Amino acid sequence: FKRIGFIGLGAMGFPMAKNLLKNDYELHVIAHRNREPVDELTAQGATEHKSVADIFSQCDCIISILPTDKEMESVLLNQQVLDAINPDSVLIEMTSGSPEMMKKVHDAYQLKGIPVLDGPVSGGTIGAENGTLTVMVGGDPDVLERTRPVLEAMAKNIYLVGSVGAGKAIKAINQMLAGIHMVASAEAVALAEKLEIDMDKLKEVVGNSSGASWMLANKMDGLVKRDFTPGFKLNLMKKDIQIAVNEGVDKQLPLANYVLELFKQSEKESGEEDFSAIGKSSLST
Ligand code: NDP
């Protein structure tokens, strides 16, 4: 693949698109509300288009990383877009959406003979900038092999986890855990502050004990400084835990449901802040 159409130039998509340019891919982009990423990418050699349909007709690989199911549906299942798509192209869908929406997109593209790879990511904006993301791929192994060089321009770990939808499912499970761990980490910091514990010691000792988590190791400093600059927005984390809860299980997901409620309560005040702002309910001001 040479001509890549990239839809969704946000906190993740923008640095991912930059890495494709750095790896000599021809990049085709569109502005949504914020022009800044498009201006910077075109200055670096990308081509700007006026419509998504235009991009889909001219590219041989389309990458989308949009906020939620809603945008996946409105962009990828738009009839004009489906009618315009280059029949020899491939779609790599990287949004953290629901497995159900992913399958809907897959079915619509399959009718057109367009291969689809489900590939949500983990690793945050730092991983996106450094090209060290983890991709959770659902789809045909042959399609993965064909698109692997494109993914390798953005990612370090590429896992094939099942068929289309399985990537979104594993991502939702990861996010359910991450949300729970974030709330737990904030409670640990609140308690440590109350007990006047040295934070470096807490990090070191718990980091080598059974209470260790990625979240405490990586988000503790931000909690201590009350720095909630996104990063990964709280409203997107709420959306991810909601996906996990929506899938349901025969018994219950008591913790996930409780943590989802906490995220819902914080959304109005802190939805556009980093998801660690969920800690405000435990931390002193
Ligand atoms: P952002 O909100 O920062 O970016 C979303 C991007 O999509 C923006 O550039 C927005 O444009 C664009 N967009 C929205 N609607 C449309 C549309 N109809 N047509 C074209 N572009 C559109 O989100 P993130 O980049 O943070 O997240 C994207 C996805 O990746 C989410 O599903 C998220 O859960 C997931 N994710 C995020 C991580 C993070 O650390 N941020 C980590 C791993 C996964 P505009 O701003 O102009 O409206």
Ligand 1, from 7, 35, 65, 126: best to mutate by most atoms within 8 Å of Cβ? 65
pLDDT for 13 equals 98
C-alpha distances out from residue 108 to 58, 60, 94, 112, 164, Å? 19, 18, 17, 7, 13
User: CATH homologous superfamily for 3-163?
Assistant: NAD(P)-binding Rossmann-like Domain (3.40.50.720)
For the CA of 240, the closest atom of ligand 1 is 34
pLDDT for the residue 184 = 98
- State the pLDDT at residue 91: 98
Report pLDDT for 205. Answer: 98
Calpha distance 175→169 (Å, rounded): 10
Q: What is the pLDDT of residue 285?
A: 85
For 56-75, how does the pLDDT look when each residue is reduced to its tens digit (9 = 90+)?
A: 999 999 999 999 999 999 99
Q: Which atom, in ligand 1's list, is nearest to the CA of 237?
A: 34
Query: 198 — phi, psi (to 5°)?
Result: -65, 125
Q: Where are the domains of the chain?
A: 3-163, 169-281
Question: Which of 7, 9, 12, 74 to probe ligand 1 with, by most ligand atoms within 8 A of CB?
Answer: 12
SS3 readout for 175-192: HHHHHHHHHHHHHHHHHH
Interval between CA 141 and ligand 1 midpoint (Å): 27
Which residues lie with the beta carbon below 6 Å from any ligand 1 atom? Answer: 7-13, 32-34, 65-67, 71, 74-75, 95-96, 121-122, 124-125, 231-232, 236, 240
Looking at residue 179, its pLDDT comes to 98
CATH homologous superfamily, domain 169-281:
N-(1-d-carboxylethyl)-l-norvaline Dehydrogenase; domain 2 (1.10.1040.10)
pLDDT in tens, 161-188: 999 999 999 999 999 999 999 999 999 9
Which residues in the chain land under pLDDT 50? none
Catalytic-role residue among 18, 104, 168, 171: 171
- Distance between Cα 75 and ligand 1 center (Å): 13
Q: Residue 123: its pLDDT value, please? A: 95
The rounded distance, in Å, linking the Cα atoms of 207 and 197 is: 15
